[in-house]
Structure 1
Amino acid sequence: MQRSAPRPSRSRTRNRVRMLACAAVPVMIVAAGCSSDSDDAAKDTDKPAASASKEAPKVAPAKFSSLPADPCKSIAKKTIEDLVPKAKDKSGSSGKSSDISTRGSCSWNGLDDNGVKGSQYRWLDISFMRYDSDTGIGSGQDRAADYYKKEVAKARATEGAKGTKAAPASGVGTEATTVTYSLTKTDESFGYATVVARSENVVITLTYNGAGYAGAKSPAASDLVKGATKATKEAVAAVPGTAG
């Protein structure tokens, strides 16, 4: 006769239920822990995207990366001969620069002595200033535009100048202004024409002046402006990368 398996007592059944319940608790805790780690990981993943959106805005690259290697050659020899007759040095006198890629200058002067008929003195000076783009400061074009305004203001505020006038100079670079005035030096009245021109991130300041000695008439303001404008256009075209 086959015996049936003995039934567990009620007390043993309750103990086994308790053991199963206790065993289930750690599993739930682990599961909860994994879920929390996943949420934290997701949050960490979002952080780089948030910081990337706060990066400094990019600025437009500067158009010109250099200046004429020799500023004295930025104006044609024929133009120098016309504007500064009898120039002491037709090749010009270049100014000192610690970085010729960002700044440069050159000047010419001469006296055309005609004895008792009078003499004509002329002086021509040109300077270049180039700006690079910088994310912390701004684009080269914007920086050059600021310097351009300062140069125009400087020319208009020349000490001792009389009859100062300023007018836009069309067809010269990105923007340009001509400033004219007269100035008394060595008991003579000198006429001045200064052209400040900006070509993208490069600013060119050209000053042309002259006077008549021994009874000779001083140059007319219109002639000075015409000569200064012509020379400035040549200087703008001499910047590497500029279309002539």
Structure 2
Amino acid sequence: MHRSAPRIARVLACAAVPVLLVAGCSSGSDSAKKPDGAGSGKTSASAAPAAAKFAKLPDACKSVTQATVGRLVPKVKSAAGTAAKSPVQDQRGGCSWNGLDGYQFRWLDVALQRFDSAGGVGSGEEQAKKRFTEQVAAAAQVKGATSVKADGVGDEATLVSALVEKDKLNYQDETVVARTGNVIVILSHNGAGFEGAKTPAADQLQKDALAAAKEAVASVTAANAAANT
């Protein structure tokens, strides 16, 4: 145990750094350079697309309940979560949680992205549909990954499951990519057993990830309903 403690500490240190919409960076778009849906500003009023359904994002660290965090991440390091830094918080947001219960490690991450409607770019929903397809494809690139449609999670959703080896440890990784209107929600939940402990069962992680993804999607609707009251 004493010899392996530094290795566990390194894994936890790396896991504590949230990544904001990782898959979104793989699309090759210039969305990181300018707000999504900024457009060229040269379109006519007649060509203007329909207004986006959602005008704001919820606080990613509050997109799932504390009860859910406690259930999915036993002995969570920070129940409040670690927010991802974003220069455009009305368009991108993220939060992550991690915890080590004995030799069982768990990670939970929520990433949100919202698209505005703009002439020359398309409606927010059209852009979100395109990004949804890109995100599913990016998540499914992991070796051995399998994907299935997830009913009842937003307007459309896909669950991608994979057993990933990293630092000589096996991580069971479950990623739910969902779209609700003009917003993309990506929820990742994974776990590993340290020091020879058993890798968590995929079916339980999948069940938990889907339930948490439903909460995150619902939080988008709730945040916008509150803004309109």
Partner of residue 96 from structure 1, selected from 38, 63, 85: 85
Q: As a proportion of its length, which structure holds more helix? A: 1
CA offset digits 1:204-242 (Å, max 9, x no partner): 011111011233211111111111111111011111236
CA gap of 1:242–1:157, structure 2 versus 1, over 3 A, is farther
RCO higher in 1 or 2 (8 Å CA, sep ≥ 6)?
A: 2
- Say whether residues 1:145 and 2:140 are aligned partners: no
Residue in structure 2 matched with residue 241 of structure 1 by the alignment: 224
| Mapped pair 1:212 → 2:193 | yes
**What CA distance in whole angstroms lies between the structure 1 residues aligned with 2:181 and 2:104?**
36
Matched, 1:58 2:48: yes
Change (3 A) 1:142 1:180: same
Aligned to 2:184, the other structure's residue is in SS state strand
Q: Using a 3 Å threshold, how does the CA distance of structure 1 residues 226 and 61 change in structure 2: closer, same or farther?
A: same
Gaps of 5+ in 1: 1-53, 114-118
Listed as ranges, the gaps of 5+ residues in structure 2 are 1-43
AA matched with 1:110: G
Report the equivalent of 2:24. Answer: none
Q: Is the 8 A contact 2:113 2:184 kept in 1?
A: yes
1:191 is the counterpart of 2:206: no
Q: 2:108 is paired with a residue of what secondary structure?
A: strand
Which of residues 121, 137, 152 is equivalent to 1:171?
Answer: 152
Distance across 2 between alignment mates of 1:60 and 1:71: 26
1:82 equivalent to 2:71? Answer: yes
Cα distance in 1 for partners of 2:152, 2:62 equals 21
Give the aligned partner of residue 112 of structure 1. 101
Letter aligned with residue 66 of structure 2? K
Deviations 1:57-94 (A, max 9, x none): 231110000001x2101100000000001111111000
**Are the aligned partners of 1:194 and 1:206 in contact in 2 as well (CA < 8 Å)?**
yes
Q: Give aligned pairs, total.
A: 181
Higher Rg of the two aligned structures:
1
CA shift for structure 1 position 192? 0.5
Report Cα offsets for 1:170-203 as digits up to 9, x if no partner: 0000000000001111211110000000001000
Task: Return the TM-score normalized by structure 2.
Answer: 0.76
Partner Cα distance (1:58, 1:135) in 2:
5
Partner of 2:61: 72
Percentage of identical aligned residues: 46
CA separation in 1, counterparts of 2:64 and 2:133?
A: 24
How far does residue 156 in structure 1 lie from its aligned partner after superposition?
0.6
State the superposition RMSD in angstroms.
1.5
TM-score normalized by structure 1? 0.71
Using the alignment, how far apart are the partners of 1:186 and 1:111 within structure 2?
16
Contact 1:236/1:242 (CA < 8 Å) preserved in 2?
no
User: What whole-Å deviation, never above 9, does each CA across 1:87-119 have from its counterpart, x for those lacking one?
Assistant: 111110000011111010000011101xxxxx1
Match of 2:18 in 1: none
Distance across 2 between alignment mates of 1:67 and 1:241: 8
- In 1, are the aligned partners of 2:149 and 2:158 still within 8 Å (CA)? yes
1:97-149, CA deviations, whole angstroms, 9 ceiling, x for partnerless residues? 11111010000011101xxxxx1000111100000000121000000001111
The runs of at least 4 aligned residues of structure 1 exceeding 6 Å deviation read none
8 A Cα contact 1:56 1:135, kept in partner: no
C-alpha contact (below 8 Å) 2:132/2:178 kept by paired residues: yes
CA–CA separation in structure 1 for the residues paired with 2:190 and 2:225: 27
Give the deviation of 1:56 after TM superposition.
4.2
